[in-house]
Chains A and B, each alone.
Chain A
Amino acid sequence: MNMIEFRNVTKIYENNTTALKNINLIIKKGEFVFLVGPSGSGKSTFIKLIIKEVEETSGSIFVAGRNICNLKLSRIPQLRRNIGCVFQDFKLLPNKTIFENVAFALEVIGKPGYEIKIQVSQVLKLVGLYDKINSYPHQLSAGEQQRVSIARAFVNRPPILLADEPTGNLDPITSEGIMKILSRINLIGTTVLMATHDKNIVNSMRRRVVELEEGEIVRDQKRGVYGD
């Protein structure tokens, strides 16, 4: 089953910069894909298109077999509930505890309280932060904060997890820990797409690598490395 499919997708921003040029790509269910390339090569745009944070200029995008291009505005929340997102800057809410930060994702979609408790505890155990449940983000290290944000992205068990430079702010050892969690999430059957320019990580994982350069796919390799 194709989880994410891009057909002739082009994105040109209002200021006439072309972020993506005629992209064709299929990501199957359960795959772990690295999206690599230098800054400005279109990695973030690629991810933003999937969650409809930006609109494609032309072409079609399919998520779980569904064309999301002509999705009604009111259906976008539903799409996003099925896609977990992790960012370089974590996007945690500073005035909420770790539990509340993760629970927030469920509250927002209207889950009942008892279910929230169970699911949040489970996912915090998965990322190894159950003992920090009542701490605030500023009391945690950067690596721990990123694990909280992964927990929040995954608490609703979405079939797709997108990560935009999740290790961009972390040292190599901490990054390794993050990658272990992402691998574990992938093993459960979640499709993971991770944009990065972290050479070491890509090389050590040996997963599918899609390389972008100036908005075009220049390489798509099964068990690839970052390249030179």
Chain B
Amino acid sequence: MVRPGYFFSETFSSLRRNFFMTCAAISTVAITLFIVGLFTVIVYDVMGIVNSIKSQVELAVYLEDGISSGLKDYIEQEIKSWEEVESVKYVSKEQALEKFKEQNEGSDILKEIDGNPIPASFEITLKDPEKIDQVALRFYDKDGNYINGVNDVIYGKNYVNKLFSITAIIGVITIIIIAVLLLAAIVLIFNTIRLSIYARRKEIEVMKLVGATNWFVRIPFLFEGFFEGFIGGIVSIILLYFTGNFLLIRAERLIVDTMRIKEMAIVGSSGIIIYVYIGLAVLGGLIGLFSSGIALRKYVKV
């Protein structure tokens, strides 16, 4: 019914009129969403790192020397019957010695080795690495001693738990920063819209007088808010694209290399980046709509 051109020309002339406020609102949204996006990617990638570390976590159960093959087989069967267990690998004393020699080739240690001091072991991997504590406990009896035939149980417990708590802290900090910035963005867009409502108050008065519907009065302002938020979103995507490609990937490669993690999900290569981009644009538009919606409720009593 109403020409769409009307709304576009109204929207853009209003954006021009409040040029500096418009810029302020757009850049606030851009910075906010950039940080939101950056943290999302970082948290996602840290989770990826944690997960790949977790998947490498093994439980090593060392056996007493001279264990009878019957007891050894019994323990092996027992471990295999646990549902948390992904795989069990038996490493005999000879294989363990071979491995040790390989790892320490050319070292003086080898000369000092007399006979075979290295115990046989079971290397256990779990379906869910977080259950590692539970599984490890089964190698102890009621009094806290190792069960018969087992000499030692070793796994990287503290390492994993530290990583978990670091991720949690990053998550909390992220949420706080994002909340504050989102609020700032909303307040700024709110103010821009309020200014442009003020600039057009005469027009609005006349509109109401000649029988414009409420939506007719509101739509240009909603457009304006949406536009500011959406453009802010686009700018944040551009910022994130460059930061992701030039900084984040390098930083994460470094982490991955130093920590010797096998498989890794990094920015760019990780599939979520496109969803992050889409999410930022949509979120920007929504922030804009939402803030101008509040401003309208407050200042345009139709």
A residues with a Cβ closer than 8 A to B are 51, 73-74, 76-82, 85, 91, 93, 104-105, 107-110, 113, 152-153, 156
Contact = CB atoms under 8 A, between A and B. Distances in A.
Nearest to A78: B211
Given A104-B207, A156-B210, 9 more contacts: A73-B302, A76-B302, A77-B211, A80-B209, A80-B211, A85-B209, A108-B207, A109-B211, A110-B216
B213 interface: yes
B211 A91 contact: no
The 3 A-B pairs with the shortest beta carbon distances in the complex, nearest first, are: A81-B211, A80-B211, A110-B1
B212 interface: yes
B86 interface: no
B203 A80 contact: no
Contacts of A51: 209
A152 B209 CA distance: 11
A108 B208 CA distance: 9
Contacts of B202: 91, 93
Interface of B: 1-3, 6, 202-203, 205-214, 216, 302
Contact of B214 (A74, A91, A105, A153): A74
Given A80-B208, A91-B202, A93-B203, A113 B214 contact: no
A108 B202 CA distance: 14
Contacts of A156: 210
6 contacts: A51-B209, A78-B211, A80-B211, A91-B205, A108-B212, A109-B210
A51 B2 CA distance: 23
A30 B72 CA distance: 111
A128 to B, nearest CB: 22
B3 A113 contact: yes
Contacts of A79: 211
Contacts of B214: 73-74, 77
Nearest to B217: A108
A110 B213 CA distance: 10
Nearest to A152: B210
Contact of B210 (A73, A74, A105, A113): A105
